[in-house]
Structure 1
Amino acid sequence: MSAIRDLHNPWRDRYQTASFRGAIFHVETEQRHGGRRTVVHEYPKRNLPYAEDMGRAAVRFTVQGYLIGPNYLTLKDALISALEQDGSGTLRLPLPYQGRDMEVMVMQYGITESRERGGMCSVEMDFVEAGKPGFSDVSIVTQAAVTSAAAALERAVIGT
């Protein structure tokens, strides 16, 4: 019996509380979806298609969670507020799920409460990785910048 008590579990050492934008919840299940973006080209009179690799697909997360206890209503309100904020936020999932913080966007969520399960609610949340803008290194040319550049060019031409 003492051998069972002394059994060390590294999973428990790395376990952390799940949260989104600081609003905590418990995780029942978590799914990660990923893959490649592909375009399949099928040509007339050709029996062999061509699948074109367009890069990695955005990673999506489906989380089945719950809130329970005497203060679950307060926790539910905090989680709803976090889920409905604009922009991306930090999602933390416990191991064995991800075990690291991720910047994600909320795609949708649902909350289920029932009379039989008083004092708790189930939460289903769908997230997608936030990523980075594809054109972040491109400068935006405003009307004022174009006008200024045109005036500078005109001065340079007239001055010569």
Structure 2
Amino acid sequence: MTAIRDIHNPWRDRYQTATFRGAMFHVETDHRQGGRRTVVHEYPKRNLPYAEDMGRSAIRFTVQGYLIGPDYLYRKDALITALEQDGPGTLRLPLPYQGQDMEVMVVQYSITESRERGGMCGVEMDFVEYGKPGFSDVSIVTQAAVTNAAAALERMVLGT
């Protein structure tokens, strides 16, 4: 009789506990969606369209998870608190792309509890990549700044 050898699965080495803002949950399925933003230009009397690349789309995540066990009520409260906080938070999935956690915003979530499944709850969460604010390096020009700049230019021109 031959001994059964343990078959090594590399994905098990990378598997990690799922969290959002440090609140732990178990994952049944997670779905990542991405792509490119495009604008298709179609012109009269032309048979060939032109698809313009407008950059990468925001990455979206749909996660179906659950909480289970004698302490699930406390974990549920912690997860709800994390999901309802303002601003972005760090999402860690069991097998993230390139092992990277991601800063995301919560789009929506739902929690399902039932009598038949006492001691646990299901959680569905939708997230979108936070990224970084656009135009963060643009200064805002106020009326006072314009007035001061005009006065300085006038003094320079008049030589005073």
TM-score normalised by structure 1 residue count: 0.86
What is the CA–CA distance in structure 2 between the aligned matches of 1:110 and 1:37, rounded to whole Å? 29
| 1:143 CA displacement | 4.5
Q: State the partner residue of 1:84.
A: 84
Partner Cα distance (2:40, 2:149) in 1? 45
* CA RMSD, Structure 1 to Structure 2 (Å): 2.1
Q: Distance in 2 between matches of 1:8 and 1:144?
A: 68
- Deviation string for 1:50-79 (max 9, x for gaps)? 211111111111111111111111111111
Name the structure 2 match of 1:46: 46
TM-score norm. by structure 2 comes to 0.86
The corresponding residue for 1:133 is 133
| Corresponding residue pairs, total | 158
Per-residue deviation, 1:148: 4.3
Per-residue CA deviation, residues 107-136 of structure 1 (Å, 9 max, x unaligned), is 111111111111111111111111112212
SS for the counterpart of 1:32 is strand
Distance (Å, rounded) in 2 between the aligned partners of 1:11 and 1:133? 34
Amino acid across the alignment from 1:105: M
Amino acid at match of 1:111: I
Report 1:27-66 matches (<5 A).
Answer: 27-66=27-66
Q: Following TM superposition, where does structure 1 have runs of at least 4 consecutive aligned residues deviating by more than 3 angstroms?
A: 142-159
Match of 1:104 in 2: 104
Percent identity among equivalent residues?
A: 82
* CA–CA separation in structure 2 for the residues paired with 1:142 and 1:64: 47
CA distance in 2, matches of 1:66, 1:43: 50
Q: Does 1:9 align with 2:9?
A: yes
State the one-letter code of the partner of 1:112: T
Residue 21 (structure 2) pairs with residue 21 (structure 1): yes
Distance of 1:144 and 1:89 partners within structure 2 = 37
- SS of the residue 1:94 aligns to: coil
Query: What is the CA distance between 1:144 and its match in structure 2?
Result: 4.7
In structure 1, give the amino acid aligned to 2:104. Answer: V
The DSSP-based 3-state class of the residue aligned with 1:116 is helix
Q: 38-47 or 144-153: which moved more?
A: 144-153
Q: Which runs of 5+ in 1 are unaligned?
A: none
Change (3 A) 1:12 1:140: same
1:135 aligned partner, one-letter code: F
Deviation at 1:9, TM superposition (A): 3.1
CA deviation vs aligned residue, 1:59-111 (integer Å, no higher than 9, x gap): 1111111111111111111111111111111000012x433211111111111
